[in-house]
Amino acid sequence: MNEFELIRRYFTQNSSNVVLGVGDDAAIVEPTPGNELLVSTDMLVEGRHFFADIDPVALGHKTLAVNLSDMAAMGAKPRWAFLSLALPKVDERWLTGFTYGFFELAKRYEVSLAGGDTTSGPLTLCVTILGESPLGSSLRRQGAQPGDDIWVSGVIGMAALAVRQQRNNTMAVPAEVLAVCKAKLDFPEPRIELGIALRRVASAVVDVSDGLVADLGHILDCSRVAAVIDVNAIPTHDWLATQRYQCLDTLVAGGDDYELCFTAPKQYREDIATLSRQLTCQLTHIGCIEEGLGLRLKGEGDEEIPIRRAGFDHFSH
């Protein structure tokens, strides 16, 4: 199979969302009048972002999901994706699985694959995503104010626990716990509806990809504020909750959660509780924004816990 057959067979879909899709020198898309366009790109490299033995369906899902998560963090509705990939060889079984995972998720959020690039090389996947939101309504990392509450969606630390066990199997994690953690690692669910709903209430938002401490840190840096979070309030799997002090790094600095961390004025507590019920998405109040700089973790009896790791950084570890 040559490159063009491969593109036609695996990456070309009929789509009503594009004026011109895969097959020309460029795609043509028609932005919704009165909206701003948001653009983001994310790359996944074998050995860095996923293990070589990952299920291709999971990889297809995750490749798109991590990009959709960036749109969620901006309060945007994702619309068009571009997929650039380097493949070591043409493996039809792998391609079938990968595109299944990718397009199942794309369909659910009405995202069209509008183009991309295909080359041979070490397995690398790069998605560029375009999204929209009404002019001026997008959310940023900047905007948190002293006195705001800090919230997080879903549960944190489970994906990191799965990675940790896969790297060095040092803890006696029950098999059923590991299975749910692995599912969270392989099939992250981007919080698109939540991001859109947060336009009304959030002062700042970030998605948790590099660990809660590191990503909340971005909100603090961009907003020039400080924060305190309650370690006991951080929502996680029941089993990990019993180990939260022994596994603090996994919980707050592990990453791969793809949940949203956001700040909102106290006056919105009721609205956020309602939102949580409407979206059937757990939303947990974990701390608050203060004046100053830096992030403090508080444990039992207000004791302060030193933070050891600042999340995942590709160039410093």
Residues that bind ligand ADP (CB under 6 A): 7, 11, 22-25, 83, 85, 113, 115-118
- For residue 88, the one-letter residue type is P
3 binds Mg ion (CB under 5 A): no
> Which CB atom, from 5 or from 313, has the smaller least distance to Mg ion?
5
Instruction: Report, in Å, the least distance between residue 36 CB and ligand ADP.
Output: 24
Residues 173-212, one symbol each (x = binds Mg ion by CB under 5 A, - = not), give: ----------------------------------------
Binding-residue pattern over the window 117 to 156 for Mg ion, x denoting contact by CB under 5 A: x---------------------------------------
Return phi, psi of residue 271, to 5°: -60, -40
By a kind-dependent CB cut-off of 5 to 8 A, residue 195 interacts, out of ligand ADP, Mg ion, none, with: none
| Least distance to Mg ion, CB of residue 99, Å | 18
Residue 11 binds which of ligand ADP, Mg ion, none (CB < 5-8 A, kind-dependent): ligand ADP
Name the minimum Å distance from CB 27 to Mg ion.
Answer: 12
Distances in Å between the alpha carbon of 181 and those of 52, 61, 100, 157, 186?
18, 16, 22, 9, 9
Residue nearest Mg ion by beta-carbon distance: 117
What single letter denotes the amino acid at residue 65?
A
Phi/psi of residue 188, nearest 5 degrees = -65, 140
Using the minimum distance from each CB to Mg ion, give the nearer residue, 4 or 245.
4
Burial (CB count within 10 angstroms: exposed 0-12, middle 13-18, buried 19+), residue 199? middle
Segment 99 to 118, residues that bind Mg ion, using CB under 5 A: 117
Distance CA 45, CA 122 (A): 8
> Which one, 23 or 292, has the nearer CB to ligand ADP?
23
Phi-psi region of 180 (alpha: psi -120 to 50; beta: other; left: phi over 0): alpha
Residue 113 binding partner per list ligand ADP, Mg ion, none, with a CB distance cut-off of 5 to 8 Å that depends on partner kind: ligand ADP
* Separation in Å, CA 206 to CA 114, 139, 202: 26, 9, 11
If the CB atoms of residues 10 and 312 are measured against ligand ADP, the closer one turns out to be: 10
The dihedral region occupied by 31, where left means phi > 0, alpha psi between -120 and 50, and beta the remainder, is beta
Which residues contact residue 230 at a Cβ distance below 8 angstroms, ignoring those fewer than 6 apart? 286, 287, 298
Distance from C-alpha of 226 to C-alpha of 26, rounded to nearest angstrom = 45
Closer residue to ligand ADP in complex, CB, 128/133:
128
CB 6, min distance to ligand ADP, A? 8
Measured from the CB atom, the residue of 115 and 287 that comes closer to ligand ADP is 115
Q: How far is the CB of 110 from ligand ADP (least distance, A)?
A: 17
Distances (CA, A) of 223 to 76, 205, 242, 309, 313: 20, 11, 33, 21, 21
The residue among 7 and 281 lying less far from ligand ADP, judged by its C-beta, is 7
CB under 5 to 8 A by kind: which of ligand ADP, Mg ion, none does 22 bind? ligand ADP
Of the two residues 20 and 179, which places its CB atom closer to Mg ion in the complex? Answer: 20
Q: How many Å apart are CA 153 and CA 138, to the nearest integer? A: 18
Residues that bind Mg ion (CB under 5 A): 117
